[in-house]
Amino acid sequence: MTRFAAPIAEQIWDMKYRLKEADGAPVDRSVEDTWRRIARALAESEADPDAWEDRFYAALEDFRFLPAGRIVAGAGTARSVTLFNCFVMGTIPDTMAGIFDMLKEAALTMQQGGGIGYDFSTIRPKGAAVAGVAADASGPLSFMDVWDAMCRTIMSAGSRRGAMMATMRCDHPDIEAFISAKSDSARLRMFNLSVLVTDAFMEAVKADASWELVFDGKVYHTLPARDLWNRIMRATYDYAEPGVIFIDRINAANNLSYCETIAATNPCGEQPLPPYGACLLGSINLARLVVDPFSEDARVDDAALEELVRTAVRMMDNVVDASRFPLEAQAREAEAKRRIGLGVTGLADALAMAGLRYGTEEAAARTEDWLCGIARAAYLASTELAKEKGAFPLFDADAYLASGTMQAMDEDVRAAVREHGIRNALLTSIAPTGTISLFAGNVSSGIEPVFANAYTRKVLQKDGTRTEEEVVDYAVATWRALHGDAPLPDHFVNAQTLAPEDHVRMQAAAQKWVDSSISKTINCPEDISFERFKDVYLQAYETGCKGCTTYRPNEVTGSVLSVSESSEGTKEDKAVLVHEAEDGAEVVYMSEPLDRPQTLEGNTYKLKWPDSEHAIYLTINDIVVGGRRRPFEVFINSKNMEHFAWTVALTRMISAVFRRGGDVSFVVEELKAVFDPRGGAWVKGKYIPSILAAIGGVIEQHLVATGFLDAEGAGLKSDPTASVVGLDSPRPKACPSCGQFEMRMVEGCMTCMSCGHSKCG
């Protein structure tokens, strides 16, 4: 018997969370071994480790409590990685030396696997005078370009690429350039962008008043507040960024407003954090706690939920002590406040199993009840921990209890905090759970609605044949197990059929009992009017949300879902994602590398790098799959022994990627983006930023020559071969990891439903 509810769950475990030796040999023989590894590691700091290990294991068992992926992959491995998901870096000084010190800190943090956030409002605007050098400032966006390039070069721990959030205040003189930065699809691709919107600005928008853009006390520009608001709205309407963060509301509600000021969030927005702030994440799987699903007595087991929350809080508190940190400042900040971010996943499935339609007033009320119970249990558990182990070092009872969040807490919770203190300054957050939700059997992600009742993955087998694998939502699978092929109840809905107002209603209901914030995407139809689109953001502000992120499919953002129609013309309840290339071949995810034939066809290229004594020779061999020629392996050779180690490593890495299949053109793009800080070189009249970029160019030349790419520069920036059944335009984007066209917006982040790859790490 397997614990996995779906094949994709086991595949995600094997790819992302299973502990393996350096040569790929499994250490975790089963998912039970993974749970035991985590439980043992997090129990080490307890006075009675054996007893707590068993309790921690019981919480993890059957995917009831889901620590964030970094904890699942890293706890108990002895690897030098952080178990924290979220970091906001230090305040950026408005000096050249300070800016590049911050760049170094960002690189060190991403190297260990942390996603980071930065407020770029502290950098003087473009054109401002720079004292002592008789020059004008280049502005914050120019430095964001530097950060973006740095992020491209760093592969974070666990094969996760770095992710960044950039924020800018709505009164910064360069805010208009910040708002329009993503109109260039090739710019700032490693960043999510959000505008810090103040209460004063929102009042000016409502009053149709003027608005001043100010830096260091100097007014640079004055414009109508509604004009600036409309610019923000138009940008996110057209290309899904920037998001909006209601920063004054965040600071007013913050339990720690007496000792910190927040100006940025982590990449997905659920963790507003101070300078060097850090937070770890975990989720209660509500779908696994529903008793008597799809019956009149269906309910979440409140006693089991409370006990699970109390154990989860203790586990997460222990992570603070077990984790490594990229920077000493981050460790000190985490230890001083002991922030944790306990959230939920499987909410939409739990609602469906309880007979409630996501987005209705009844579903919002039930969501509020469940999250109130989680918040109460979490805060009371943390006061018990404070009684046993001590409150967080910066705890001040009067100041803490005066915060906006604590004033809304029940009196018994406030009394417990006053008497015993509290172990963790903040406790609740709702994070993106795309990959761990797949790991848990494809439960609905976070507080998001079900994306699709079912969809089809195409998997290329070792023998070159293709198989189809149905991936079914957890609640749908539960219904099928109980009722066979009986039609789904009418209260089953998905993200494509909900009104934007339904999304906002659910986010606002959840936010009442979440002391940090929520990562949520409000799906909007492509044909939504601009005026109604703007109303979504105003509704989010008026109903108490701390931020708002929308996704409207269009030619820029892409679209990912096609609902097929049966021969009778009725719409089926299954999303079928089918993608055909012009020559009839399909880009598919390969479950295992193909076997190497005895002979392969290939080409050898000579690369002469200026100032290098010896040339580099690249041999690229191809394999034919499904009638299409594609790269299979690379060999890089040079007589220059200084190149030996990195060329061997590059050879092995690129060949491993090629053998995994899919759209591997991203290898070209990533190599061509690498810059050498010592300078590049001019080759055949074109500036190449590094020798690695030159190698990328040679590989691209080969892929174009063999027909794998249409032309130079194709890569990920366009997808000329993709089409979706039943949807002519816009066309979807390929996953940069596996090549499947199954990217969808999940809680503000493009996530692949095939392999779990996420832009936000």
Catalytic residue numbers read 266, 268, 270
> Is the separation of the CB atoms in 743 and 750 below 8 Å?
yes
DSSP label of 14: I
Instruction: Find out whether 178 and 172 touch, Cβ atoms under 8 Å.
Output: yes
- Residue 107 exposure: Cα atoms within 13 Å on the Cβ side: 14
CA dist 365 and 351 (Å) reads 11
Among 152, 75, 28, CA closest to 667:
152
Residue labelled with tokens 């007496």 = 258
Cα dihedral: 691, 692, 698, 703 (round 10): -170
Number of neighbouring beta carbons within 10 Å of residue 212: 13
Question: Which of 455, 698, 670 shows the shortest CA–CA distance to 561?
Answer: 455
Helices (H) and strands (E) in the chain, counts: 24, 33
116 in Cβ contact with 165 (< 8 Å): yes
Token couple for 661: 């299949």
**Residue showing tokens 């200084």:** 642
Q: How far apart are CA 50 and CA 56, in angstroms?
A: 10
Torsion of CA 426, 427, 432, 437, to 10 degrees: 170
Q: Please compute, for residue 351, the number of CA atoms within 13 A of its CA located in the half-sphere on the CB side.
A: 34
Q: Is the dihedral of CA 38, 39, 42, 44 positive or negative?
A: negative
The residues with which 336 forms a beta bridge, in sequence order, are none
- Specify the length of the chain in residues: 761
Asked whether the beta carbons of 479 and 294 are under 8 A apart, the reply is yes
Per the CB < 8 A criterion, the answer to whether 141 and 126 are in contact is yes
In whole angstroms, what is the distance from residue 395 CA to residue 272 CA?
19
**Measured CA distances, 484 to 1, 299, 478 (Å):** 21, 22, 9
Of the chain, the end-to-end C-alpha distance in Å amounts to: 32
Cβ-contact 396, 438 below 8 angstroms: no
For 274, which DSSP code? -
What is the Cα–Cα distance from 455 to 563, expressed in whole angstroms?
Answer: 10
The C-alpha atoms of residue 440 and residue 155 are separated, in whole angstroms, by 26
Quote the distance between the C-alpha of residue 637 and its chain's center: 38
d(CA 94, CA 72) in angstroms, rounded, equals: 39
Which one, of 204, 239, 271, lies nearest residue 546 by Cα? 271
Q: In terms of DSSP bridges, do strands 155-156 and 160-161 run parallel, antiparallel, or are they unpaired?
A: antiparallel
* Tokens describing residue 311: 């154990």
